[in-house]
Amino acid sequence: MNAADCYSQLAYNYPNHTEYRLYHAQALYNAFRPADALTVVSTIEDEILLNDSIKLEAAIKYQEDDLVNCRILVEQLPTLDPTVLINTACIDYKEGNYEEALKKFNEATEFSGYQPGLAYSIALCHYRRRDYGSALTLIEEIIKRGVKDHPEFNIGMGSEGIEVNFIQNTQKLHESALIEAFNLRFAIYYRMKDYKLAKESLADMPPRNEHDADPITLHNLAISNANTDFGDSSSKLQFLLGINPFPQETFANLLFLYCKNDYFGLAADVLAENPSHTFYCLSQVGAGKYNVNYRKTCNSLASPLFNFSNMYLGSQ
């Protein structure tokens, strides 16, 4: 039984504990079932949970790229709520207003103090502004703190050839923003055509079993090996096409990989089997290049995490 089923049963058995409905809705949201999550949220009438319900509904709208309604919901929250500034910055980022997003993320850092997730979001804005030096400085600070605070993550051991135990995807790993930072570092070095350092960025990540890897990391592993291991790269990209959601760049990169290796029939099959993806996924893709991916959220371009901080199931 998954988390959504468990909370659904708890909400049914204990109807007076309305927080179970909120957790049920969040579990549905995390399972990328936004319509079902909104249905459950609409049944919550407890005034105490009003702000958390609005945050979750806004997060769902953000996940669906409905930024107009997302902003309307965020503006209903108390202005003293520290997540309002962060979430408004996230919306600005998705709208392409990177300067304003950067300003708000910096303000949030001054207000809340250093947080790896915020540092990553600032680095992401610098990346979008093509200020790779500033982005790398922030990334290295995230990694340095991760090495110091979490020796159990075995950071950097992979590239040194040391055999270590795999780690699990935990709330601690999520809060450290290490996976996001390494993927962003990969993206930067890949854009700079320093493919050696790009591959090292993936090897230095906290080691996880491949089946535990997030879609962004799996995509970047496929791209990093595209010129040396066609079979592994194509199988990874094919696998990603079958999950929901998959990184937007996956579709274009699989087509390019097939065409580059003269598998035009396979490329034609992918187009025929995925007609709905053709215009959505190819609209911003340049010919003759791989696109890199650099963060796990619900968005393929690695948007900053939409923050509904006190609601994480792992923190309960």
Please determine, for residue 11, whether its predicted confidence score (pLDDT) is greater than 80. Answer: yes
Contact 67, 87 (CB under 8 A): no
Between 281 and 54, where is the model more confident?
54
**pLDDT over threshold 80, residue 302:** no
Confidence of residue 30 (pLDDT cuts 50, 70, 90): confident
Range of the domain at 29: 1-80
Number of helices (H) and strands (E) in the chain: give both, helices first: 17, 0
* Collapsed DSSP state (helix, strand, coil) of residue 13: helix
pLDDT at 246: 84
pLDDT score for 287: 42
Q: Please state which of the ranges 60-69, 100-109, 249-258, 285-294 shows the lowest mean pLDDT.
A: 285-294
Residue with tokens 């290796």: 261
Structure token pair of residue 313: 């199931």
- Calpha distance 77→79 (Å, rounded): 6
Averaged over 49-64, what is the pLDDT?
91
Q: Does 313 fall in a domain?
A: no
Residue 50 sits in the same domain as residue 70: yes
- Token pair recorded at residue 118: 């915020």
Position 196 confidence tier, pLDDT thresholds 50, 70, 90: very high
The pLDDT value recorded for residue 292 is: 61
What pLDDT is stored for residue 315 in this prediction?
Answer: 30
Residue with tokens 């007076």: 16
The answer to whether residues 146 and 64 belong to one domain is no
CB burial of residue 249 (10 Å; 0-12, 13-18, 19+)? buried
Domain's final residue, options 205, 235, 256: 205
Q: Give 52's contacts (C-beta < 8 A, 6+ positions apart).
A: 22, 308, 310, 311
107 & 221 share domain: no
* Token pair of 228 as six digits: 């040396």
Report residue 314's pLDDT band, with 50, 70 and 90 as the boundaries: very low
310 found inside a domain: no
185 neighbors 126 (Cβ within 8 angstroms): no
Residues 112 and 191 in one domain: yes
Q: What is the pTM of this model?
A: 0.86
Question: Tokens 């950067």 belong to which residue?
Answer: 102
Is 150 contained in some domain?
Answer: yes
Backbone CA torsion sign across 226, 263, 296, 207:
negative
Long-range CB contact pairs, 309-312, < 8 A, 24+ = 309/82, 309/83, 310/52, 311/22, 311/26, 311/52, 311/55, 311/56, 312/171
Average pLDDT, the chain: 86
Task: Enumerate residues 6+ apart whose C-beta is below 8 A from 297.
Answer: 303, 304, 305, 306
In total, how many domains does the chain have?
A: 3
Clarify whether residues 88 and 191 are in a common domain. yes
Q: What share of the chain has pLDDT > 70, as a percent?
A: 87
Greater pLDDT, 302 or 240: 240
Residue 14 identity: Y
139 CB contacts (<8 Å, ≥6 apart)? 120, 123, 181, 184, 185, 188
- Specify if 153 maps to a domain: yes
**Domain match, 129 and 86 both:** yes
183 and 282 fall within a common domain: no
pLDDT at 309: 43
pLDDT average, residue stretch 1-7: 85
Rounded to an integer, what distance in angstroms lies between the CA atom of residue 145 and that of residue 116?
Answer: 9
Q: Which pair of tokens denotes residue 111?
A: 């207000």
Q: What is the pLDDT of residues 174-191, one digit of tens each?
A: 899 999 999 999 999 999
Whether 263 maps to a domain, the answer reads: yes
pLDDT class of 288 with cuts at 50, 70, 90: very low
Confidence of residue 1 (pLDDT cuts 50, 70, 90): low
User: Average pLDDT, stretch 113-117?
Assistant: 93
Average pLDDT for 112-137: 95
| CATH code of the domain covering residue 33 | 1.25.40
Same domain, 93 and 189: yes
Mean pLDDT along residues 131-143: 97
pLDDT at residue 274 above 50?
A: yes
Q: What is the pLDDT of residues 231-243, one digit of tens each?
A: 999 999 999 998 8
What pLDDT, in 10s, does the model give residues 242-251?
A: 887 888 889 9
Asked if pLDDT for residue 299 goes beyond 50, the answer is: no
Identity of the residue numbered 254: L
Q: Are 297 and 305 in contact (CB under 8 A)?
A: yes
